[in-house]
Structures are given as C-alpha cells and as structure tokens.
Amino acid sequence: MLFQAALIATGVWSVLAPCYALEGETRAPGPGRLAVYWGSESGSTTLDDVCSDSSYNIVNLAFLNYFFSAGGYPATSIGDLGGPSTAQRDAGATGLQDGSSLISAMKACQSAGKLLFLSLGGANSYADVTLDSDAQGEQMADTLWNLFLGGDSALRPFGDVKLDGIDLDNESSDHTGYLAMIRRLRSHYSSDSSKAYYLSAAPRCSFREASQWLDVYRQADLVWVQFYGCGQSSVAQRSFAEAVANWAGGIGGAQLFIGALASGDDDAGDTAGYVDANTLVASVQSVKGMGLGNYGGVMLWDAQLAVDNGNYQKQIAGSV
C-alpha cells in the first residue's frame, strides 16, 4: 500500500537527543545533510581528505564486515589499515585492525562538526553480520559499545575516539536479534550524557522486499535508502517518486536520505542506477518539492568514487 506524503511526520525539525527518541519523533540533526561512505573503494583519498571537505556532514566508515571472527570478536576491513594491534593480537582478536593511524583525522572530523559512524555489513559476498538470537544481539551491542562508542576496552581500534553512531548495512534477509541489539545500544547511548549517539540504516530501495526489516528501520535516526541498482525505483526512473513516498511514510520518525552512486566506475562493477550530478540534483529537488516531513539529505557511495568522478560531491552539495 502506498503511503501518501500527506500522512508523513510533522515537519518539526527540532534536534532531539537520539538516545531518548521514540518511534515517530524526529531524532536527528536537521535536513540538508550529505553523508558518504569511506574505506571500501581502493584509491588515494584519505579520511583526512574527506573530513576536510566541507561538502560532507556525515562519514560512514566501511566496514565492520563480520560480527564473530577470530577469538569471537568482530572483523573490520577499513581503508588501508593493516592488521591487529599488539593488544588485539594477544587477545586473539586478529580480525580487528589497529586504527591508531586514523585517530588524528577522526578527531579533526568531529571537531569540524562532522559525524563519524561505523557501518556494519556490506555485500553478502563480503560480510556476515547476522545474529542467531536476541541474546547474541545484546552481546554484539555490548561489544560495539566497548570497542567503538562510549565504552571501555583495551582492544579499542581507535583509542579514546568515541564514534558518533552505528550504521546498519545488513544486506541479507535475516534480521534475527537486531531489535534486541538496537534496544541494548539505545540503553548504552543513554548512559553517556557527554555526547549524542545515532543509529542509521542503509536498505536497498525495494520497499516491498524491505517489509520484514521495517521494524528495524523505524528504530533508526537516519535511513539512507540505496536508490540505485533497483530498476524503475532508482533515482530519476519512473517509479522513483512512488518509492520515495513509500519509504518516507514507512520509517516512522527517521530521516530519509536519497542514496546515490557517486560514479559509474565502481571497483565491484556495481554501477547500475548511476546518474550524473545534474540528474541527481534535479531528482533531489523533486523530492524536496514533495513536502516530506522527514527528508534528511543525500548519501553517496563512496568518497573515492566521488573524487575520481570530478569531485561529484562538490557538484551536488549546494543542492542537498
């Protein structure tokens, strides 16, 4: 059933502390933000480069791609980071990476007002972020909190840097344990009054196929739908506006971001649905004209592709 724009949210853009948010509230920073993924595509664009680029407001670190790897700890594959630190290796957590080389860039990013999220997942051929039970979901929330957010562990990849949120990019059909994981994360979020923490999600754009995940997406603060590689629902295609309206109405108080490819030249060859900057800008303007109460901005995959494509991000940033 098509959700009509007239039934969507309230249009009130007050900034609420995400850790106290309830479904149906607007719970993220104001609209007009540009989010980007960094760390998966090969190339020379560094996190410093991304963080110093005024085009971006939110940076997703890609990826934590396995929940349970060596020693029962997660595994990450972020940028050109090498292997584990000495402490991680000694603990058997050899799937983690020593991220100390990124700490200065991360602190500069946050000092500039940009949000840093850790993305969980990626393509199924590359990742396994499924859970067996609610108990595993709670366990993983504790692990994420202690390794990457406001908790404490000698194995923290980024030292004392507290990331600003978690991004869910589970591209499987299995969401077992995810609601329990989110509830536990929210509980942790509310325990740290020193900063706000967020939760985002990156579903593929078929609204019908995503129906079993909607309860999860409604718990997010930001949802950047991948409006590419999905036929007539992709950006600028015949059913794009209908897909946008469905998603906007289906995710509760979460902000909706239009996810787009930054280039037609992806390492993995997944370029279906790419549109040039002018076409994306026109499509975004049409979305903004729909009067959605929960429009949030645009998400790009990914920072390296954008640079390689004539700094695509700079061509669209002023229209987000």
C-alpha closest to that of 302 among 28, 94, 71, 50: 50
Which residues are CB-neighbours of 58 under 8 A, at least 6 positions away?
33, 34, 35, 36, 114, 115, 116, 117, 200, 222
Tokens 């980071």 belong to residue: 81
Angle, vertex CA 300, rays to CA 248 and CA 265, nearest 5: 130
Task: Return the half-sphere exposure (C-beta side, CA atoms, 13 A cut-off) of residue 54.
Answer: 1
Measured in Å, how far apart are the chain's first and last C-alpha atoms? 28
Beta strand 58-66 with 75-76: parallel, antiparallel or unpaired?
antiparallel
Distance in angstroms (rounded) separating the CA atoms of residues 169 and 124: 10
Q: Which amino acids are annotated catalytic?
A: 171
Distance in angstroms (rounded) separating the CA atoms of residues 83 and 95: 8
